[in-house]
Structure 1
Amino acid sequence: MTIRFSKDHEYVRVEGDTAVVGITDYAQQQLGDVVYVELPSVGKRVSQGDETAVVESVKAASEVYAPVSGEVVAVNSGLEDTPGTVNEDPHGQGWFVKIKLANAAELDSLMSEAEYQDYLKSIS
């Protein structure tokens, strides 16, 4: 399973031709308790870097950007009722959207887990 990370603290877990997108554990820690998640419509086309979702916490609202281009094929509607799942299991049940990859080569522009850990050290 391939997992890649963006400098905006989104992760991409590649499953076949689909990218499962969410925010990293670091991002949810920075946000604090998530109280609301706004998700896009299934069928929406996104380009790498586009705002895809919004996550609100007790501290702030933050955009979630598409780390890859493609079509939204699923959204985690469970987050509407239980947004705290983002805090509890950001890399598992707390995913936001699934995007059918339009260009798998875009994954090469994202960081590996080791590169992301180094990036976190450089910003803290």
Structure 2
Amino acid sequence: MKSIEELSFPSDVKYTDDHEWAKVEGDLVRVGISDYAQDQLGEIVFVEMPEIGDTFAQGNEFGSVESVKAVSEIFLPIAGEIVEVNSELEDAPELVNTDCYNKGWLVKIKPDDLSEMDKLKDQAAYLEMLKG
């Protein structure tokens, strides 16, 4: 496992206490797991995704990530409807390990209430939590 200083935490995304990230892109929000989460999990071998059209409340479990070490539930950072899933992960789940913020994203949602993003941690607060 890498030290926190070796991991990437972009400042243009928000983070949850459960290590998911959310990035506003127009009227949608792209969601994935943080570099810290993928590093802790180790080699990702499978990602269980929701169906397009599924809706979830903020903090609800929407899928899971399976690594050689463990299976971890993933939770939606803000409420919304799934409008796209990253189908590349079906054949290449390791993209979560190699590029969790770009190629390894999980879902895109149409948010119910974009102001829920304000409840998430910014880069500084997330790093503080990890170091704490």
TM-score w.r.t. the length of structure 1 is 0.96
Choose from 78, 82, 85 the match for 1:72.
Answer: 82
Choose from 49, 52, 66 the match for 1:42.
Answer: 52
**Alignment: residue pair count:** 122
Q: CA deviation digits over 1:24-66, x for unaligned, max 9?
A: 0000000000000010000001110111111000000001100
**Deviation for aligned residue 1:2:** 4.2
2:24 aligns to what?
14
Secondary structure of the corresponding residue to residue 115 of structure 1: helix
**Deviation for aligned residue 1:105:** 1.1
Q: What is the alpha-carbon distance in structure 2 between the residues aligned to residue 46 and residue 12 of structure 1?
A: 15
What is the aligned-residue identity percentage? 49
What is the identity, as a one-letter code, of the residue corresponding to 1:69?
A
Secondary structure of the corresponding residue to residue 52 of structure 1: strand
**Deviation for aligned residue 1:111:** 0.3
Q: CA deviation digits over 1:73-115, x for unaligned, max 9?
A: 0000110100000000001100000010110111011000111
Q: Which runs of 5+ in 1 are unaligned?
A: none
2:7 aligns to what?
none
Q: What is the alpha-carbon distance in structure 2 between the residues aligned to residue 2 and residue 83 of structure 1?
A: 24
Q: What is the alpha-carbon distance in structure 2 between the residues aligned to residue 70 and residue 98 of structure 1?
A: 9
2:103 aligns to what?
93
Q: What is the alpha-carbon distance in structure 2 between the residues aligned to residue 114 and residue 50 of structure 1?
A: 24
Secondary structure of the corresponding residue to residue 13 of structure 2: strand
TM-score w.r.t. the length of structure 2 is 0.90
Q: What is the alpha-carbon distance in structure 1 between the residues aligned to residue 19 and residue 89 of structure 2?
A: 18
Q: Which runs of 5+ in 2 are unaligned?
A: 1-10
